[in-house]
Structure 1
Amino acid sequence: MRRALLFLLFLVVIAPASHAQSDRLTLERYLEWEDVNDPQISPDGRRIVFTRRWVDQQKDRWQSALWIMNADGSQQRFLVEGRSPRWSPDGTRIAFIANDAEGRPQIFVKWVDLPEPPTQLTHLTEAPGSITWSPDGRMIAFTMNVPVEVRWNVDLPKPPEGATWTKPPRLVRRLHYRADRRGFMEEAYTHLFVIPAEGGTPRQLTEGTWHVGPRFDGLPAGATLSWTPDGRTIVFDGFKASADSVDRNYRNAHLYAVDVATRQLRQLTREPGRWTQPAVSPDGRWVAFTGYAETRQTYHAADLWLMPLDGSAAPRNLTRALDRDVSNLHWAPDGSGVYFTIDDRGTRNVYFASVRGEVRQVTRGVHMLTLSSISRNGVAVGVRTSYHEPDDVVRFALNRPDQIERLTAVNDDVLQDVKLGEVEEIWYASRDGTRIQGWIVKPPDFDPAQKYPLILHIHGGPHAMYNVGFNYSFQNFAANGYVVLYTNPRGSTGYGTEFGAAISQAYPGVDHEDLMAGVDAVLARGYIDPDRLFVTGCSGGGVLSSWAIGQTDRFAAAAVRCPVTDWISMAGTTDVPLFTFNWFDRPFWEDPSEWLARSPLMLAGKVKTPTLLMTGELDLRTPMSQTEEYYVALKMRGVPVVLLRFNEEYHGTGSRPSNFMRTQAYIMDWFEKKGRIPGVTVEAEE
């Protein structure tokens, strides 16, 4: 009888959140969701090619293809299967990457005005990347891994005829031998190649035991390639050093220039630091780039720099006063300066810096606006999103940046009859007075006289930024009756170096205080039920959600996703070992005290909060063992805890469409079941 009464009580409490309405953003609608990215405008400004993605419900994955349209958004149509489109300088062809008949990525070229199928240029055994046309359209540069054959031959008895012996062990010699979403990696180094645009044999321009392209803790990443106007030289970013130094490189990178004919290489930057994203000026005199000098800080904003391509003068910092991360560099067609974007307090807009160092803001708006490409006549294209508008392709003239025109509407059909939750920006004081920015998503038909459950959603990184862009997850929570709070505590990007570096060698720390102050600020508004506070987050958000429930029992339940719970074991099992070691002043074998003090696992004895743990089976960033250690500790203490091991997932639990929907559904079901009811004790899971 008591169990039946408890069940009825739970039904009463969760009823408002559990009955889906036809005008709400349900999980079913996610199956119809689409996405656009990487728009590229033709040099003459007449046409735009972009990548369009959709959910393949049969294969449970995102599929993508290239679409093309006129510059005014008319005649949108499928072009070809593929990704990473790039226009030839004369605008007649598009180079892109697609899989060949064997499923291997290759470089293709499509003549836009001809009906014939695209031409396959390469027949590579390794995937190409960073494809970039030469100024005359005769060559295409690209990067590709060059494997190193590593063998350890030992003498064994000859197997009997017909015997099946186990394969030899995997030989590992490097610190970085695995990467999330790629798995275990054979020893290889990324290098620069060129191939004739009409097809032929790729020619390797760089070689050795080092990488073209900057790497963060050894993780594979795309290189930035920039040709000089005469087509004789390619400027790129990377890190050339001995094999041991490359393997131990945490985040440093330099700029290099290679002569295409002679393969002669010269280093442009000298001071140690992270120097990336080179862009050569239209007249070939200058190279713009981003970066910062070498530092122990776990975060530093990347500035915009300018230096003569011939190395005759030291680099100049053009954006020192901005103190924001600069990215997406594009030279003005007349060479007068560089357009770029910065993330600032949850928004992204376009800025311009002249070669003389004058900086001005170009676009304005409460949105996230990328800058993908600029035509010769000064028309820019990118992708824009805001609170209630998902990603769509937009264009604007650089001389009329206040007139941003939306060209696609790929989700208007999904959202046409949907009531979305209001999003409110808030600023509040943390416990030491520091001002923190956040946002509240309210349920549709929100009534301030009612009491709502609150979900505190914590971002990962931890050096990342929540923003004003459309968020399906948050709107789906709101559609089910939850108020969602998401904030940018100290450690977040978009607020300058000092704010972002406040958690350097001190994580978790003041960021937790900032988050709890945010919960207090929303509680003070009077429409939150203090007995139904919930917390969740993945990666860095998993760190802080598991840390929070070891510090306080204010939350009725937690959903801790892909966390770090034990920094010592994390260092030896993650694909980012140097990132992990950089959070501490001394290695754990010299002094484990800080490593232990900042591990949520060490607070397991204080946890009372019912906890749902969720991690991908294939996760190499915050490996499953981190979750398993925490699960066993809570289980031994009798804390209500459940572990969900997500199939076919690396880091995170939502790359597969079905797993995204499962993540949402499991979290809400757990919160509904574990929400406190006065006078009722929640029993531990069997």
Structure 2
Amino acid sequence: MDTDVRFGATWRRVTEFFRLMHSPGELRASDLTEVSGRPGSAEVLATATVCDSLNDPLRRVIVRIREGELAQVSDGKADSHAATWSCDGTRLAYLSAADPRRGHHLCVQGPDGCREIHLPGAAEQCVWAPTGASLLVRVADPGADKAGAEGSGHRPGTAGPANWLPAVDTAATTSPGRSLWLVEAETGATRPVPCGHTVWEVGYAGPDRAVAVVSAGATESDWYRAHLSVIDLDTGVATELYRSERQLGRPTGSPGGAWIAAVEADCSDRGIIAGTLLLFDHNGQPRPVDTGQVQVTAAQWLDDRRLAFSGMRGLASVVGVHDLVSGETRELWATEAGLGGLHEPDAYVQPDETVLAAVQQYRKPPAIVHRLAGASTVLVTATHAGTEALRAQIGDCATLSWEAPDGERIEGLFVTPNRPGPHPLIVYLHGGPIWAFRDRWLGSNPIIALLASHGYAVLCPNPRGSSGRGPEFVAPVLGDVGGLDGGDILAGVDHLVDAGPVDPARIGVMGGSYGGYMTAWLVTQDSRFKAAVPVAPVTHWRSLYYTTNIPRFVTNVVRAEPSEAGGVYEARSPLTYVANVRTPCLNVAGALDLCTPATEAHQFHRALLDHGVESALVVYPAEGHGIRTFPATVDYCTRVLDWFTRFMPADARSGR
């Protein structure tokens, strides 16, 4: 494989695909997320993703919807997101960075103009007080780890005294933490809230208290054992409210402070949660909310009586509201379309229970939709000049279900190209394992639509362990990685082969993170795959435990300690069975990845070569967990297409 692939025909085709997708240099939105409404007004804001150049990272800007068009609110040269209005609608706060490599700061716009407020670190979250007089800001210390869902790596750090000095780690080494700051909206005055814990996520719980997910330790791994505490904003005293064996997120209190809500679930990644919505009364006693089998991903208080929520039920996105007085839960919207952001559904619910949300499907670009009493109105779409050209080449997407070997019903999405079958098939596996595919524009990753545009069908399965079907659907994977979930995936392939739309002689597999693990695992267990692309993979659970920044993730999913000889750490690691592999593998990693370090891909590559298997290793020096930025994304997609074309070309058929 060439080191430089920029001058080939595939690179040119991939570049054209992304040019049509992003319209670089035109400040056109290719994605819309984080929708919010201005209290007392019809004004709607969102975060738009824009592309300045296919040689630069994508950027986010805050936009206002006006007469079906998007008008920019934030600085056009900065990366800005997380816009939120004060309760009276007079002030707007958001996070912004002229250079994201230096970290985000807080911006507050109001009657007196725009104020930039810099805190000692990178601002990660801002929340308005119920009074609108102040904000809570969660700040990451310089050098703190980023979550895997953000791409891993570190927050911007401070320069050391000399660049040759070594990094030193001992039992006494302390990690950069995350602190809580109070900001006065009118003056911009700031003060720390010294709660004595690392603050991972925060919400107000009345005017003078906060509720937060906190831990004593500051490492990324400590998040997996974080608990819920109530923090007095005057004294900083933190009082433990709830501790769980699972993970906690989305803490938020009712405006008057009488009730607190949070979500509890088994989670793979910090920042991604889909689970049980819990309510805590003034005595701190939790009770689950009956959400109609919806796994909740976001919660928002409408007033002291009503709690709105968004979440997943199977492949559907659902928005509802729970009345604490009557105990009634009502669904405001349920749709097979993808609501909210990439990782999970979210929506903004107004006091009259109007829903504002970003909505998209495989063939429908993101749109901001107003939903009330069952009627939907599109306020704006991200459709642009390149949309129709993309639609003409990406084929179609349909939901699919099949039966696993033990009789469980498994769901997924099936993308087919614009040509007659039987098609070559790429099985695209999601990360986590606790995550799920939803119906989104061009697929959850644009490489799905790119593969379809080159003649490949793509199966996106949600096997056991996936979000959206309750804790009983997640639980079987914990302690059984590669077991039932692997069987679910292979059963989906068998289903498509038996049904006839795919060519059994041309089946490939790829995925990232846990999907990278499953890719490496499946080629050790099944010889049907003609080519594979493990991205940011786990290839040995024990080596991962001792090198990752999230060892508690490993023990959470493996359900065993690495000091135990043999056992699941050996039995469920691809390296253990590498002698079985006959599938050519393109192993991809980011050099900055702290979650699944590049050594995981490297050792699998080396073992494949030792056993005479065709293998290539591609490590991107400026990428972390997954390949996310341009121009590396164009390079990565070029190599993936060339790999599958070489070993299972779309224009060749088995003659079945």
TM-score, length of structure 2 as denominator length: 0.84
Counterpart in 2 of 1:438?
Answer: 412
1:665 positional shift: 2.1
Secondary structure at the counterpart of residue 362 of structure 1: strand
The answer to whether structure 1 residue 107 and structure 2 residue 78 are counterparts is: no
Choose the corresponding residue for 1:126, options 113, 121, 125: 121
Counterpart in 1 of 2:348?
Answer: 373
The answer to whether structure 1 residue 461 and structure 2 residue 432 are counterparts is: yes
Counterpart in 1 of 2:96?
Answer: 98
Choose the corresponding residue for 1:212, options 193, 199, 203: 199
Contact conserved, 2:584 with 2:614, CA < 8 A, in 1?
yes
1:51 positional shift: 1.5
Equivalent residues in 2 for 1:28-427, closer than 5 Å: 28-32=19-23, 34-57=30-53, 59-70=55-66, 73-74=67-68, 76-81=70-75, 82-99=80-97, 103-111=102-110, 118-120=114-116, 122-145=117-140, 167-173=164-170, 187-208=175-196, 210-213=197-200, 223-228=201-206, 231=207, 233-241=208-216, 243=217, 249=222, 251-269=224-242, 274-291=247-264, 302-308=275-281, 310-311=282-283, 314-319=285-290, 322-333=292-303, 335-355=304-324, 356-370=326-340, 371-397=346-372, 400=373, 402-417=374-389, 418-419=391-392, 420-427=394-401
RMSD of aligned C-alpha atoms? 3.3
Contact conserved, 1:98 with 1:108, CA < 8 A, in 2?
yes
Secondary structure at the counterpart of residue 475 of structure 2: helix
Whole-angstrom CA distance in 1 between matches of 2:528 and 2:21 = 32
1:104 positional shift: 4.9
- Which amino acid in the other structure matches residue 179 of structure 2? H
Counterpart in 1 of 2:452?
Answer: 478
1:37-83 per-position Cα deviation (integer Å, ceiling 9, x unaligned): 1122101132112221112216421112211124xx54531122232
Counterpart in 1 of 2:343?
Answer: none
- Higher Rg: 1
**Residues 645 and 90 of structure 1: CA distance in aligned 2, closer, same or farther (over 3 Å):** same
90-99 vs 600-609, which deviates more?
Answer: 90-99
Contact conserved, 1:41 with 1:380, CA < 8 A, in 2?
no
**Residues 237 and 80 of structure 1: CA distance in aligned 2, closer, same or farther (over 3 Å):** same
Secondary structure at the counterpart of residue 349 of structure 1: strand
559-568 vs 253-262, which deviates more?
Answer: 253-262
Structure 2: 5+ residue runs without aligned partners? 1-8, 24-28, 145-160, 341-345
Equivalent residues in 2 for 1:569-584, closer than 5 Å: 569-584=543-558
The answer to whether structure 1 residue 496 and structure 2 residue 494 are counterparts is: no
**Residues 265 and 614 of structure 1: CA distance in aligned 2, closer, same or farther (over 3 Å):** closer
Contact conserved, 1:621 with 1:651, CA < 8 A, in 2?
yes
Secondary structure at the counterpart of residue 72 of structure 2: strand
- Which amino acid in the other structure matches residue 309 of structure 2? F
1:173 positional shift: 4.0
Whole-angstrom CA distance in 2 between matches of 1:227 and 1:172 = 38
- Which amino acid in the other structure matches residue 360 of structure 2? T
Whole-angstrom CA distance in 1 between matches of 2:267 and 2:429 = 29
1:251 positional shift: 2.1
Contact conserved, 1:132 with 1:142, CA < 8 A, in 2?
yes
Q: How many correspondences in the alignment?
A: 604
Whole-angstrom CA distance in 2 between matches of 1:138 and 1:410 = 35
Whole-angstrom CA distance in 1 between matches of 2:386 and 2:163 = 52
Contact conserved, 2:590 with 2:624, CA < 8 A, in 1?
yes
368-377 vs 87-96, which deviates more?
Answer: 368-377
1:71-107 per-position Cα deviation (integer Å, ceiling 9, x unaligned): xx54531122232212122212211222369955322
- Which amino acid in the other structure matches residue 138 of structure 2? T
**Residues 434 and 165 of structure 1: CA distance in aligned 2, closer, same or farther (over 3 Å):** closer
Counterpart in 2 of 1:684?
Answer: none
Whole-angstrom CA distance in 1 between matches of 2:141 and 2:162 = 30
Counterpart in 1 of 2:585?
Answer: 611
Contact conserved, 2:267 with 2:434, CA < 8 A, in 1?
no
Identity rate, percent = 25
Contact conserved, 1:384 with 1:392, CA < 8 A, in 2?
yes
Contact conserved, 1:85 with 1:97, CA < 8 A, in 2?
yes
- Which amino acid in the other structure matches residue 36 of structure 1? L
Whole-angstrom CA distance in 2 between matches of 1:537 and 1:165 = 39
415-424 vs 271-280, which deviates more?
Answer: 271-280
Contact conserved, 1:462 with 1:492, CA < 8 A, in 2?
yes
1:461-518 per-position Cα deviation (integer Å, ceiling 9, x unaligned): 1111111222132222111111111111111111121111111111111111111111
Whole-angstrom CA distance in 1 between matches of 2:97 and 2:141 = 19
Secondary structure at the counterpart of residue 648 of structure 1: coil
Contact conserved, 1:300 with 1:497, CA < 8 A, in 2?
no
- Which amino acid in the other structure matches residue 342 of structure 1? G
Counterpart in 2 of 1:557?
Answer: 531
1:329 positional shift: 0.9
Whole-angstrom CA distance in 1 between matches of 2:72 and 2:363 = 26
1:346-368 per-position Cα deviation (integer Å, ceiling 9, x unaligned): 22111222214322322122112
Whole-angstrom CA distance in 1 between matches of 2:215 and 2:580 = 48
**Residues 586 and 486 of structure 1: CA distance in aligned 2, closer, same or farther (over 3 Å):** closer
Structure 1: 5+ residue runs without aligned partners? 1-16, 150-163, 178-185, 214-222, 680-686
Whole-angstrom CA distance in 1 between matches of 2:428 and 2:229 = 42
Contact conserved, 2:65 with 2:379, CA < 8 A, in 1?
no
Secondary structure at the counterpart of residue 636 of structure 2: helix
**Residues 148 and 532 of structure 1: CA distance in aligned 2, closer, same or farther (over 3 Å):** closer
Secondary structure at the counterpart of residue 602 of structure 2: helix
Whole-angstrom CA distance in 2 between matches of 1:636 and 1:330 = 54
Secondary structure at the counterpart of residue 564 of structure 1: coil
Whole-angstrom CA distance in 1 between matches of 2:220 and 2:506 = 48
Contact conserved, 1:20 with 1:480, CA < 8 A, in 2?
no
1:152-171 per-position Cα deviation (integer Å, ceiling 9, x unaligned): xxxxxxxxxxxx98754333
1:301 positional shift: 6.1
1:623 positional shift: 1.0
TM-score, length of structure 1 as denominator length: 0.81
Secondary structure at the counterpart of residue 45 of structure 1: coil
Whole-angstrom CA distance in 2 between matches of 1:646 and 1:52 = 27
**Residues 318 and 525 of structure 1: CA distance in aligned 2, closer, same or farther (over 3 Å):** same
1:632 positional shift: 0.9
132-141 vs 337-346, which deviates more?
Answer: 132-141
Contact conserved, 2:354 with 2:371, CA < 8 A, in 1?
yes
Whole-angstrom CA distance in 2 between matches of 1:30 and 1:647 = 25
